[in-house]
Amino acid sequence: DGGITQSPKYLFRKEGQNVTLSCEQNLNHDAMYWYRQDPGQGLRLIYYSQIVNDFQKGDIAEGYSVSREKKESFPLTVTSAQKNPTAFYLCASSIWGRPGTGELFFGEGSRLTVL
Protein backbone atom coordinates (compact mmCIF):
# COMPACT_ATOMS: atom_id res chain seq x y z
CA ASP A 1 0.00 0.00 0.00
CA GLY A 2 1.25 3.47 -0.84
CA GLY A 3 1.56 6.07 1.83
CA ILE A 4 3.71 8.21 4.05
CA THR A 5 5.52 6.75 7.02
CA GLN A 6 6.76 8.88 9.86
CA SER A 7 8.92 7.64 12.69
CA PRO A 8 9.07 7.65 15.57
CA LYS A 9 5.45 8.28 16.58
CA TYR A 10 6.49 9.45 20.03
CA LEU A 11 9.82 10.88 21.03
CA PHE A 12 11.19 12.33 24.22
CA ARG A 13 14.27 14.49 24.19
CA LYS A 14 16.33 16.33 26.74
CA GLU A 15 16.94 20.01 26.28
CA GLY A 16 20.02 20.71 24.22
CA GLN A 17 19.78 17.54 22.13
CA ASN A 18 19.20 17.41 18.39
CA VAL A 19 16.64 14.92 17.14
CA THR A 20 15.82 13.73 13.62
CA LEU A 21 12.32 12.79 12.53
CA SER A 22 12.02 10.42 9.61
CA CYS A 23 9.55 10.78 6.73
CA GLU A 24 9.37 8.29 3.86
CA GLN A 25 6.82 8.15 1.03
CA ASN A 26 6.25 5.57 -1.70
CA LEU A 27 3.63 7.58 -3.56
CA ASN A 28 6.14 8.88 -6.12
CA HIS A 29 5.21 12.43 -5.13
CA ASP A 30 7.47 15.30 -6.11
CA ALA A 31 6.72 17.66 -3.25
CA MET A 32 7.18 17.01 0.45
CA TYR A 33 6.48 19.20 3.48
CA TRP A 34 6.97 19.46 7.19
CA TYR A 35 4.35 21.12 9.37
CA ARG A 36 4.19 21.75 13.06
CA GLN A 37 0.96 21.79 15.06
CA ASP A 38 0.58 23.13 18.59
CA PRO A 39 -2.59 22.63 20.71
CA GLY A 40 -5.39 24.85 19.47
CA GLN A 41 -3.28 26.09 16.60
CA GLY A 42 -3.31 25.56 12.88
CA LEU A 43 -0.58 23.78 10.99
CA ARG A 44 2.47 25.95 10.39
CA LEU A 45 4.86 25.22 7.56
CA ILE A 46 8.47 24.54 8.58
CA TYR A 47 10.15 23.47 5.33
CA TYR A 48 9.11 22.13 1.98
CA SER A 49 10.79 20.57 -1.02
CA GLN A 50 9.54 20.40 -4.57
CA ILE A 51 12.36 18.32 -6.03
CA VAL A 52 15.35 16.31 -4.91
CA ASN A 53 18.28 18.36 -3.60
CA ASP A 54 16.15 21.48 -3.27
CA PHE A 55 14.13 22.78 -0.33
CA GLN A 56 12.68 26.06 0.86
CA LYS A 57 12.06 27.60 4.26
CA GLY A 58 8.50 27.88 5.40
CA ASP A 59 7.08 30.26 7.96
CA ILE A 60 8.88 28.88 11.03
CA ALA A 61 12.17 27.37 9.80
CA GLU A 62 14.39 28.71 12.59
CA GLY A 63 15.87 25.91 14.67
CA TYR A 64 15.10 23.23 12.08
CA SER A 65 17.01 21.67 9.21
CA VAL A 66 16.07 19.28 6.40
CA SER A 67 17.61 17.36 3.52
CA ARG A 68 16.16 15.87 0.33
CA GLU A 69 18.75 13.48 -1.04
CA LYS A 70 16.14 11.04 -2.34
CA LYS A 71 12.67 11.61 -3.74
CA GLU A 72 11.20 9.25 -1.15
CA SER A 73 12.78 10.75 1.94
CA PHE A 74 12.56 14.13 3.69
CA PRO A 75 13.97 13.96 7.24
CA LEU A 76 13.57 16.85 9.65
CA THR A 77 16.16 17.66 12.33
CA VAL A 78 14.97 19.61 15.35
CA THR A 79 18.09 21.31 16.64
CA SER A 80 18.90 22.62 20.10
CA ALA A 81 18.41 26.11 18.66
CA GLN A 82 14.65 25.53 18.47
CA LYS A 83 13.39 27.27 21.60
CA ASN A 84 10.08 25.50 21.98
CA PRO A 85 10.28 22.16 20.17
CA THR A 86 7.51 20.27 21.98
CA ALA A 87 4.83 19.81 19.32
CA PHE A 88 3.10 17.46 16.90
CA TYR A 89 5.10 17.23 13.66
CA LEU A 90 3.39 16.27 10.42
CA CYS A 91 5.05 15.29 7.18
CA ALA A 92 3.08 15.50 3.95
CA SER A 93 3.51 15.05 0.23
CA SER A 94 1.62 16.15 -2.85
CA ILE A 95 1.20 14.80 -6.36
CA TRP A 96 2.34 17.74 -8.43
CA GLY A 97 5.61 19.61 -8.28
CA ARG A 98 3.66 22.79 -7.64
CA PRO A 99 2.45 22.68 -4.05
CA GLY A 100 -0.85 24.32 -3.31
CA THR A 101 -2.59 22.97 -6.35
CA GLY A 102 -3.37 19.55 -5.07
CA GLU A 103 -4.25 17.39 -2.15
CA LEU A 104 -1.75 16.88 0.65
CA PHE A 105 -1.26 13.37 1.94
CA PHE A 106 -0.13 13.28 5.55
CA GLY A 107 1.80 10.82 7.63
CA GLU A 108 0.46 9.88 11.06
CA GLY A 109 2.70 12.41 12.75
CA SER A 110 5.49 12.41 15.31
CA ARG A 111 4.81 13.76 18.77
CA LEU A 112 7.97 15.28 20.25
CA THR A 113 8.22 16.14 23.93
CA VAL A 114 11.22 17.94 25.35
CA LEU A 115 11.84 17.18 29.01
Partner 1 sequence: RKEVEQDPGPFNVPEGATVAFNCTYSNSASQSFFWYRQDCRKEPKLLMSVYSSGNEDGRFTAQLNRASQYISLLIRDSKLSDSATYLCVVNGMNSGYSTLTFGKGTMLLVSP
Distance CA 54, CA 48 (A): 9
Under rule CB under 8 A, residue 75 binds partner 1: no
Under rule CB under 8 A, residue 58 binds partner 1: yes
Under rule CB under 8 A, residue 90 binds partner 1: yes
Instruction: Give all strands (DSSP E) within 1-115, no chain letters.
Output: 4-7, 10-13, 19-25, 31-37, 43-51, 54-57, 64-66, 76-78, 87-94, 104-106, 110-114
> Which residue number, 16 or 39, has a Cβ lying nearer to partner 1?
39
Query: Among the residues of 1-115, which ranges form H helices?
Result: none
**Residue selected from 45, 52, 60, 95 as contacting partner 1 according to rule CB under 8 A:** 45
Type of residue at 99: P
# residues near partner 1 by CB under 8 A: 27
| Residue 16 beta carbon to partner 1: minimum distance, rounded to whole angstroms | 27
Residues near partner 1 (CB under 8 A) are 33, 35, 40-45, 48, 50, 56-59, 88, 90, 98-104, 106-109
